[in-house]
Amino acid sequence: MTDLSGKVAMITGASRGIGAATARAFAEAGAKVVLLARSGDAIAELAGEIGEAAIAVPCDISRFWEVEAAVNAAVETFGRLDILVGNAGVLKPITPLAEADPDEWGQVIDVNIKGVFNGMRAAIPVMAAQGGGTIITISSGAAHSPLEGWSAYCTSKAGAAMLTRAAHLENADKGLRIMGLSPGTVATQMQRDIKASGVNPVSQLEWEDHIPPEWPAKCLLWMCGPEGDAHLGEEIALRDEGVRRAVGVIA
């Protein structure tokens, strides 16, 4: 297992699902963890579970000043910032493009693209000044293939994937390790919402078809180690059986 002793990791969308599983995995690997989410009670409970190695920072990642304040809190509390996992994301509205509420559609862009940018913009100067750091964006197969009813989500994930590539291009020479993870379908509340919508083939999948959130958490930990160096500037797909074996989630 990758050793994160002495490292400080910030995780957005840490209140549940992949984010919460990642916080637990990183803390178990020795990292100090900074938990970001709009749900202050949920991340406070998780921070209490983890203990002194965690702080909870209620944050709307679509607002840059809130993300910047969270990065400052991480540095003030733990002295540095080594890892940023851009995990927070929203799916709804699930609706035909021609019927979408413009404000709801725009909110997906604000969270899924601007939220990723805000995290990078706040963290990169800190990491560059330290001489290095790791930034991983949670991507999706929806970044590369359109799906009915998901115009906002697919568009936002495609934008976040390109933003991740741009960040790598501009910052690899500063010692920053930047890449993406496409986890596949994960057994989280988002999949319950997709199932309830009945729209497009993803909603027809059964619960047992989805991987547990601990799998992408374990992959993220692996990506923070030296094994991730071969994938800088790329997007790792956890659907790939070779990746699953390398990470250790299957034999």
At residue 234, the pLDDT reads 96
Is the predicted pLDDT of residue 186 greater than 90, yes or no? no
* Cβ atoms 124, 176 nearer than 8 A: yes
- For residue 62, being part of any structural domain is answered with yes
Sign of CA dihedral 236, 241, 242, 245: positive
User: What is the total count of domains within the chain?
Assistant: 1
- For residue 3, being part of any structural domain is answered with no
At residue 40, the pLDDT reads 87
- For residue 103, being part of any structural domain is answered with yes
Average pLDDT over residues 211-218: 94
How much is the pTM? Answer: 0.95
* Cβ atoms 235, 184 nearer than 8 A: no
Residue by residue, what is the 3-state secondary structure of 176-191? EEEEEEECCCECCHHH
Is the predicted pLDDT of residue 36 greater than 90, yes or no? yes
| Containing structural domain, residue 223 | 8-247
Higher pLDDT, 1 or 104: 104
pLDDT tens-digit map of 167-184 = 999 999 999 999 999 998
The Cβ-side half-sphere exposure at 44, using a 13 Å CA radius, reads 6
At residue 42, the pLDDT reads 95
* Dihedral of the alpha carbons of 223, 115, 164, 70, in degrees to the nearest 10: -50
CATH number, position 151: 3.40.50.720
- For residue 50, being part of any structural domain is answered with yes
- For residue 2, being part of any structural domain is answered with no
Quote the CA–CA distance of 177 and 85 in Å, as a whole number.
12
Q: Provide the residue type at 171 as one letter.
A: N
At residue 93, the pLDDT reads 87
Instruction: Give the chain's mean pLDDT.
Output: 94
At residue 118, the pLDDT reads 98
- For residue 161, being part of any structural domain is answered with yes
At residue 188, the pLDDT reads 83
Higher pLDDT, 187 or 53: 53
- For residue 204, being part of any structural domain is answered with yes
Is the predicted pLDDT of residue 105 greater than 90, yes or no? yes
Is the predicted pLDDT of residue 210 greater than 90, yes or no? no
pLDDT tens-digit map of 63-76 = 999 999 999 999 99
At residue 34, the pLDDT reads 98
Is the predicted pLDDT of residue 207 greater than 80, yes or no? no
Residues that are catalytic: 139, 153, 157
At residue 203, the pLDDT reads 83
Quote the CA–CA distance of 177 and 211 in Å, as a whole number.
26
Average pLDDT over residues 20-25: 97
At residue 211, the pLDDT reads 87
At residue 138, the pLDDT reads 97
- For residue 1, being part of any structural domain is answered with no
Which stretches of 73-119 are assigned E, i.e. beta strand? Answer: 83-86
